[in-house]
Amino acid sequence: MELLSVTEAGEYWDARHRREGELRSGGDVSFDEPTNEMFYVRRLALLLDLIGEHGDPVAPLFVLDAGCGKGWFSRALVRFGHQVDGIDASPAAVALCRAAGGGPRYHESPLSGWRSPWLYDVVVCIDVLFHVLDDGEWEASLRNLASLVRLGGRLIVSDHGEPGDRIHGNYQVTRGPDRYAALLAPMGLRADGWHPYRFRGSLVGFHAFTRIG
Ligand SMILES: C[S@@+](CC[C@H](N)C(=O)[O-])C[C@H]1O[C@@H](n2cnc3c(N)ncnc32)[C@H](O)[C@@H]1O
């Protein structure tokens, strides 16, 4: 099956965000909303394991939610006391995020194009990179996200844990852990393991990295 072009993928996400409810929109379209809610809660708990239970109104964590979709994770992280920038390439998603409010600052931007005046304590990218179909754009995206993490900060990105690249349908390309490590190690990011979602047979998990140099 032929992969979607960049334009087609953009149209796909815009239409999906307009059509689907709060959770199926950026979650798993094969799940109903209650199952997606469990899926979101499960991943949020896993995320907390990885970013820690830091909560300090005077010194919040600066978090980038890269590919924030309708903003579920961004809003949750703001409720925990963090300062959150949410970015997404879909104008429909960003408009819906802004309408929902809740505290995050939202920007329409591709992962590869986001420039920030500050570095982040934590950059999360949840179920987005395997939708970046073009390899060059995937590499530019991952490099840019990594460059936005402060020394000692964390980069958390999701993908499959199996080695090798795989194409699933026309809008998903999963890439193996070695691809992430090979690109990020020379940038000073230490790999801290792959943490599977363990939800309904999902093959996806969070790759966690810490900037050490
Ligand atoms: C499966 S959804 C996940 C959304 C959100 N992270 C969540 O878990 O609810 C994938 C999102 O990635 C966005 N996206 C895809 N390619 C992107 C790119 N190159 N730059 C920024 N966002 C992108 C889509 O618009 C969509 O909102």
- The CATH code of the domain at 6-211 is 3.40.50.150
**pTM of the full structure:** 0.98
What are the tens digits of pLDDT across the range 61-81?
999 999 999 999 999 999 999
- For 45, residues 6+ apart whose C-beta sits below 8 A from its C-beta are none
Q: Which long-range contacts (CB under 8 A, 24 or more apart) does 70-73 make?
A: 70/17, 70/22, 70/25, 70/26, 70/96, 70/97, 70/100, 71/96, 71/97, 71/100, 71/102, 71/104, 71/106, 72/22, 72/23, 72/26, 72/40, 73/40, 73/43, 73/44, 73/47, 73/124, 73/126
User: How many Å lie between the centroid of ligand 1 and the Cα of residue 40?
Assistant: 15
User: Of all atoms in ligand 1, which is nearest to the CA of residue 93?
Assistant: 27
Average pLDDT over residues 180-206: 97
- Asked if 103 contacts 78 with a C-beta cutoff of 8 angstroms, the reply is yes
User: How many Å lie between the centroid of ligand 1 and the Cα of residue 13?
Assistant: 8
Tokens of 33: 């909303």
Q: What is the pLDDT of residue 193?
A: 97
Residue nearest to atom 2 of ligand 1 (CA): 26
User: Of all atoms in ligand 1, which is nearest to the CA of residue 13?
Assistant: 25
Q: What is the pLDDT of residue 56?
A: 81
Q: What is the pLDDT of residue 178?
A: 96
Q: What is the pLDDT of residue 53?
A: 82
Number of residues written out for the chain: 213
**Judging by DSSP bridges, how do beta strands 120-125 and 172-174 pair with one another?**
unpaired
Q: What is the pLDDT of residue 60?
A: 93
User: How many Å lie between the centroid of ligand 1 and the Cα of residue 58?
Assistant: 31
Residues contacting ligand 1 via CB (< 6 Å)? 13, 26, 67-69, 72-73, 88-90, 93, 110-111, 126-128, 131-132, 141
For residue 1, pLDDT beyond 90: no
Choose which residue among 97, 111, 131, 144 to substitute to test ligand 1 binding: the one with the highest number of ligand atoms within 8 A of its C-beta.
131
Residue nearest to atom 10 of ligand 1 (CA): 128
Q: What is the pLDDT of residue 168?
A: 93
Q: Phi/psi class of residue 151: alpha, beta or left (left: φ > 0; alpha: ψ in -120 to 50)?
A: beta
User: Measured between alpha carbons, how far is 184 from 4 in angstroms, rounded to an integer?
Assistant: 27
Residue nearest to atom 18 of ligand 1 (CA): 110
What are the tens digits of pLDDT across the range 124-180?
999 999 999 999 999 999 999 999 999 999 999 999 999 999 999 899 999 999 999
Q: What is the pLDDT of residue 171?
A: 92
Choose which residue among 22, 88, 133 to substitute to test ligand 1 binding: the one with the highest number of ligand atoms within 8 A of its C-beta.
88
What are the tens digits of pLDDT across the range 24-43?
999 999 999 999 999 999 99
